[in-house]
Amino acid sequence: MLQTKNISASYRETVVLEEVSFQVEEGEFLGIIGPNGAGKTTLLKIMTGVKSPLTGEVMLDGKDMRSLSRKQIAQIMAVVPQSSFIPPLFTVEDVVMMGRYPHQRSRFTITKEDNEVVKDVIQKIGITLFGSRFINELSGGERQEVIIARALAQKPKVLMLDEPTASLDIKHQMKILGLVKMLVKEDGITAIMVIHDLNLAARFCQRLILLHNCKIHSHGKPEDVLTSQNLKEVYEVDAEVNYNTSIDSLQIVVKE
Ligand SMILES: Nc1ncnc2c1ncn2[C@@H]1O[C@H](COP(=O)(O)OP(=O)(O)O)[C@@H](O)[C@H]1O
Ligand SMILES: [Mg+2]
């Protein structure tokens, strides 16, 4: 569904990504992890067509990203950015409707289908109760749910998320990631997420890419990537990695 081939990127003279190649299959949930400044957001910007790579290419649904217009990309891919500014005085329904834009022929006509999709998505995410409230009157967790609803209203094949749970409490972290997991499982969406919390990454993602020093340090199943040795090499911490049967996932404890 999405493939990067030998991606390199820089800001002025500073190289921040070198020869990054991987592919993500349809219906997969991939996590991108790595220390601050490792290049995660830059990689996401390249995969969403916001930034051009220095070398290499991105294939989206079999097509070279450079051959697609912004609108064509948005018909395939939706993005939940690290921080998103939404002007106040838009209602939740207005914001979710913005997600329909790539499918609208004209900016000013809202079809029956648009209304139905917006209603369905709002229901699916469980935000029906605050549909008519203003976006600036919601908490951070509620607002994040609305941003995800807007992304889903795009009916994307690929969902890109940059630290979607960064400022959320543990309840909302579980809710948002559970939701993405469900979309992957039930609707066959392909999800690519940048995330800092290694325990959540292990628990929700099927595959992980660990970025370090501009390159892919390791890539594979959570148990192959999140080893004590890799964590030592990349994060310079002593960590214990155990399997927790009650959550059926790895659990990482940093010792020092
Ligand atoms: N717009 C920019 N201009 C110059 N340097 C940047 C810019 N954005 C990011 N960088 C630098 O690129 C590197 C990778 O940043 P980023 O991709 O945001 O990392 P991450 O998301 O993994 O924390 C960092 O060293 C950062 O300082
Ligand atoms: Mg980042």
Position 127 scores a pLDDT of: 87
CA neighbor of 173 nearest in space, from 203, 211, 141: 141
Sign of the torsion formed by the C-alpha atoms of 178, 216, 64 and 52: positive
Ligand 1 atom index nearest CA of 43: 17
Q: How far is CA 211 from CA 16, 157, 184, in A?
A: 11, 25, 23
Position 88 scores a pLDDT of: 84
Pocket test for ligand 1, best of 13, 42, 195 (most atoms within 8 A of CB): 42
Q: How would you label 188-215 residue by residue, b for 16+ Cβ within 10 Å and e otherwise?
A: ebbbbbbbebbbbbbbbbebbbbbbebe
Q: How far is the CA of 224 from the centre of ligand 1 (A)?
A: 27
Q: How far is the CA of 248 from the centre of ligand 1 (A)?
A: 34
Q: How far is the CA of 210 from the centre of ligand 1 (A)?
A: 16
The amino acid at residue 211 is L
CB-defined site of ligand 1, < 6 Å: 11, 16, 34, 36-42
Which stretches in the chain have pLDDT values below 70? none
| Nearest CA owner, ligand 1 atom 11 | 37
Position 251 scores a pLDDT of: 96
CA neighbor of 93 nearest in space, from 71, 125, 115, 124: 115
Ligand 1 atom index nearest CA of 12: 4
Domain boundaries, the chain: 2-86+156-254
Domain 2-86+156-254's class?
alpha beta
Ligand 1 atom index nearest CA of 38: 22
CA neighbor of 50 nearest in space, from 31, 33, 74: 74
Both tokens of 54, joined, read: 């220095």
Both tokens of 61, joined, read: 């649904």
Per the CB < 8 A criterion, the answer to whether 149 and 122 are in contact is: yes
The amino acid at residue 64 is D
Per the CB < 8 A criterion, the answer to whether 252 and 239 are in contact is: yes
Ligand closest to CA 16: 1
Is the pTM for the entire model greater than 0.75?
Answer: yes
Per the CB < 8 A criterion, the answer to whether 135 and 150 are in contact is: no
Position 36 scores a pLDDT of: 93
Position 140 scores a pLDDT of: 84
Ligand closest to CA 45: 1
Alpha carbon distance 141, 169 (integer Å): 8
Pocket test for ligand 1, best of 17, 20, 41, 213 (most atoms within 8 A of CB): 41
Q: How far is CA 118 from CA 150, 151, 177, 185, in A?
A: 8, 11, 21, 21
Pocket test for ligand 1, best of 13, 16, 210, 216 (most atoms within 8 A of CB): 16
Q: How far is the CA of 40 from the centre of ligand 2 (A)?
A: 5
Alpha carbon distance 132, 96 (integer Å): 11
